[in-house]
Structure 1
């Protein structure tokens, strides 16, 4: 009759797995909360629970060189080094494994924190080991999408308010004195570089027609023109 307690280790969603050939005589399971001690004046020390700690499991056994029905759980056992190499490779991958003990509540995704093994005198070829495991928590990130109304089924997208335009703190010129070689087009270009927006030769002429006269292309040095804002 097979033992109802079977210790299984699996990796990559059971793509690789094996049963321990020899059940550990015992396993140590540590769980609970992080307790913090607080000293309150006139009342002494109080202990309060912190966050729940991850479960830690330690188990020890050996990989036998030869099958022995008195302690082996199955006949087709692997060579001891094959078990060792699998566990070492899983540990180096830095990915979680799963420990499951049949007919118990032990079924955890765990990381291999420490894996120690040795050969002992008197048992040539057998490899004794200790495996220290810590519970692994899977974190699932849920993308946040637009809210959907239960009544209308319409999605509501909340957009950030646009930043207000930065005020132009530079004082803009209000007048311009014509210089030799100027034209209204050149003056408009110069004013745009100084921060006057939407200015062109026609707007300058319209604001200064009484000064310039009927021909917008005939301006004279010394004429004082008003800059339309």
Structure 2
């Protein structure tokens, strides 16, 4: 049997096997008193496994050591302490019949010297660690059309409104619209089409390029769905 704590390529193999180790596995079961039935047990999901290992890091090359060429005791102590303080979750591997291979968190690490040999005894309390994956929030949609909202466009529109000190409104281009019609409808003067074009030039030109045109020809080509800021 071998016992390892692996943090990628940074590995510790225990030089001395513990005389024993303990694995605890439990369930989130609850009991309830049910009318006319008495106490019943409601089975829940299992809790994370906990493992406690007690052994020592030898200061001398004893005949019963698992292997030779190991480091001094406090090398391992500092490494495990560093992992714990840095929230590193190493992989615990116990070979043989136990066949344990799981990522763990270091819940506590107790160590000290019992005699003058320089050996450092320790007890490590480990807990199974499960990686939680979070999904990326879905993009907001327009509840009326069901289409995804383009956040970049929204930021652009907000920037334009800020530019004119929020003295304006947002207009969505409809099929058949022209800047002359929009200017007349929203400002009362068709001659204001130039102001609308100048303010929204980047948006209008971007829409034209999206529809495979080199340019909008100063707003001649508009496309339904394009949002424009209309100054007062």
TM-score (norm 2): 0.58
Counterparts in 2 of 1:162 and 1:17: CA distance versus 1, 3 Å = same
Please give the alpha-carbon distance, in whole angstroms, between the structure 2 residues aligned to 1:31 and 1:143. 33
1:89 and 2:82 are equivalent in the alignment = yes
2:15 to 5, 13, 21: 21
1:47 and 2:41 are equivalent in the alignment = yes
Report which of the two structures shows the higher radius of gyration computed on alpha carbons: 1
Q: Which residue of 1 aligns with 2:62?
A: 68
Point out where structure 2 has 5 or more consecutive residues left out of the alignment: 146-184, 191-232
1:160 and 2:176 are equivalent in the alignment = no
1:77 to 70, 76, 81: 70
Instruction: Report the count of equivalent residues.
Output: 151
Q: Which residue of 2 aligns with 1:133?
A: 126
| Structure number with higher strand proportion | 1
Point out where structure 1 has 5 or more consecutive residues left out of the alignment: 146-156, 164-196, 203-229
Q: Which residue of 1 aligns with 2:3?
A: 7
Shift of 1:46: 1.4
Structure 1 runs of 4+ aligned residues shifted over 6 Å read: none
| Structure number with higher helix proportion | 2
Shift of 1:200: 4.4
Shift of 1:143: 4.5
Q: Structure 1, residues 56-81: CA drift from partner, whole Å, max 9, x if none?
A: 11110001110111x21011121111
Counterparts in 2 of 1:199 and 1:44: CA distance versus 1, 3 Å = same
Q: Structure 1, residues 155-198: CA drift from partner, whole Å, max 9, x if none?
A: xx9943249xxxxxxxxxxxxxxxxxxxxxxxxxxxxxxxxx85
1:98 and 2:91 are equivalent in the alignment = yes
Shift of 1:32: 3.3
Q: Structure 1, residues 80-135: CA drift from partner, whole Å, max 9, x if none?
A: 111100000000011211110123420010000000011113x5301110000001
Shift of 1:49: 1.5
RMSD: 2.7
- Any residues of structure 2 matched to 1:204-215 within 5 Å, and which? none
